[in-house]
Structure 1
Amino acid sequence: MLELSPRQRRYYKTKETILQTAREIIAEKGPDGLSLRELARRIDYSPSGLYEYFNSKEEIVTAVCVEGLGLLSNYLNRVPADLSPADRLLEMGLAYLDFAREHPEYFRLIFASLSHEQTHLAKEAMNGDSPYHLLLQAVQAVIETGEFTVSEDFDLEDMAFSLWALVHGLAVLEQTHLTKFQQENPTQLYRRALRVFGEGLRNKNFLPDNS
């Protein structure tokens, strides 16, 4: 491996400082509170000097989001592989809630950015190591046990998307500090919700499609 020159080391150190400061601003003010002027002020740099490291504010945001997606994948990968498929899927949902609870700035930024259809970030979110791909694998494992059943009108991706919507919705609601979530244990609520979801998949007569 080639040793970096002093100039290269300074470059990468400054780039990491920019990203770290961007994370801090986002944590304090939310994604909309990040500006190149504020970022430059905090690291004692000129706004124009930031363009030596990033082409735009959007590129900085994307870089922070990619870090967040990697961290979320790490949370999901911590779930023991030797659990039963159903238990592993449950624990992955709980790990998702932990991520949202412990890293709210990443959680908010990732999905705010994805909603703006950033092409590079969308590709990162769907690659082989992404949280979505890990969820697909976990759902597929449950299907193979026969506990979830796919059909022509509700396939693997439909199932994974619905489960993601379930746990993501709980994570968002927990962050709103609604009265229900001050009284309810989100972990237990998720366990019950996933059980009801699974029972619905096994009950072919539940809410038949009349379309």
Structure 2
Amino acid sequence: MGIRESLIEESLTVLEESGPEALSARLLAKRIGASTMAVYTHFEGMPGLYEALVRESFIRFGAHLSRRPNTDDPVADLLASGLAYRDYALTYPQRYRLMFGITSPSITLPLGRDVTVDGNPGALSEINTVFAQIPAFVRRCMDIGAIDEGDPVAVAAQIWTMMHGYVLAEIIGVFGTDGGGVTRVLAPHITNLLVGLGGDRERIGQSFLRLDPPPQPTPPTTPPTSAVRPGRRTGR
């Protein structure tokens, strides 16, 4: 492994150990036994290293999302990709923060652009390659009539923003630490979104059963009539 690759690998390790704020040319050079000039020689400084880390992280993210081969059930494949998305984000939470620019104010990256213009959400090709997997899943669902016809990119953007919001909340512990948010929140959320897009709730439930393990959405419960008070919300 060359110095450039060693710096990237060591940076990813430091990132998960201590967060992006801990990254420095001096620390990284010391950990790989090189001079601080190595960071400037190979990345033209820390901003270049941050960008290289984001690029490499998205490459690994994309590989993780595509690890499961497609099946004859496009909805199950879409759901599985969502679980893989969550798995990566929770396994590498600090990396995920850096990838999406949710990090130190001193770290600025060329990340975002308007996905509704040409289907590309990022200024880096590695981001766009990962996002392109989602419209492909959506297109397959549309082709078999599992959801209504429409703009696959727009639907993919809805799914991505849902997943992004969910994993950020789970990372900070909003849904506890036992993983129960998958069945209590995430599965019902994606189910409701797909139903709103024209999907059949029962059919979506069958697709959940094809996952390993199958995170069955928690069915909504209706309180007894006597427990309902007019003019008040019955749940929080």
Unaligned runs of at least 5 residues, structure 1: 1-11, 204-211
Matches within 5 A, 1:31-180: 31-112=20-101, 116-118=109-111, 122-126=124-128, 130-151=129-150, 155-178=151-174, 180=175
Asked whether the equivalents of residues 111 and 123 of structure 2 are also in contact (C-alpha less than 8 Å), the reply is: yes
Change (3 A) 1:39 1:174: same
Asked whether the equivalents of residues 57 and 99 of structure 2 are also in contact (C-alpha less than 8 Å), the reply is: yes
Asked whether the equivalents of residues 100 and 171 of structure 1 are also in contact (C-alpha less than 8 Å), the reply is: yes
Change (3 A) 1:157 1:82: same
Matches within 5 A, 1:18-29: 18-29=7-18
Asked whether the equivalents of residues 50 and 109 of structure 2 are also in contact (C-alpha less than 8 Å), the reply is: no
Whose helix fraction is larger, Structure 1's or Structure 2's?
1
> In 2, Cα distance between the equivalents of 1:141 and 1:122?
26
Change (3 A) 1:182 1:52: closer
Match of 1:112, SS state, is coil
Asked whether the equivalents of residues 65 and 121 of structure 1 are also in contact (C-alpha less than 8 Å), the reply is: no
> In 2, Cα distance between the equivalents of 1:91 and 1:83?
13
> In 2, Cα distance between the equivalents of 1:199 and 1:177?
28
- Give percent identity, aligned residues only: 23
Shift of 1:110: 0.8
> In 2, Cα distance between the equivalents of 1:156 and 1:121?
20
Match of 1:181, SS state, is coil
Between 75-84 and 191-200, report the one with greater CA deviation: 75-84
Q: RMSD of aligned C-alpha atoms?
A: 2.5
Asked whether the equivalents of residues 10 and 31 of structure 2 are also in contact (C-alpha less than 8 Å), the reply is: yes
Change (3 A) 1:29 1:182: closer
Counterpart residue type for residue 146 of structure 1:
G
Shift of 1:101: 1.5
> In 1, Cα distance between the equivalents of 2:41 and 2:109?
25
How many residues are treated as equivalent by the alignment? 185
Asked whether the equivalents of residues 69 and 110 of structure 1 are also in contact (C-alpha less than 8 Å), the reply is: yes
Q: Which structure carries more relative contact order (alpha carbon 8 Å, separation 6+)? A: 1
Match of 1:149, SS state, is coil
> In 2, Cα distance between the equivalents of 1:184 and 1:30?
23
Shift of 1:167: 1.2
Counterpart residue type for residue 79 of structure 1:
R
TM-score of the pair, normalised by structure 1 = 0.77
Asked whether the equivalents of residues 40 and 50 of structure 1 are also in contact (C-alpha less than 8 Å), the reply is: yes
Shift of 1:175: 0.6
TM-score of the pair, normalised by structure 2 = 0.70
Asked whether the equivalents of residues 39 and 49 of structure 2 are also in contact (C-alpha less than 8 Å), the reply is: no
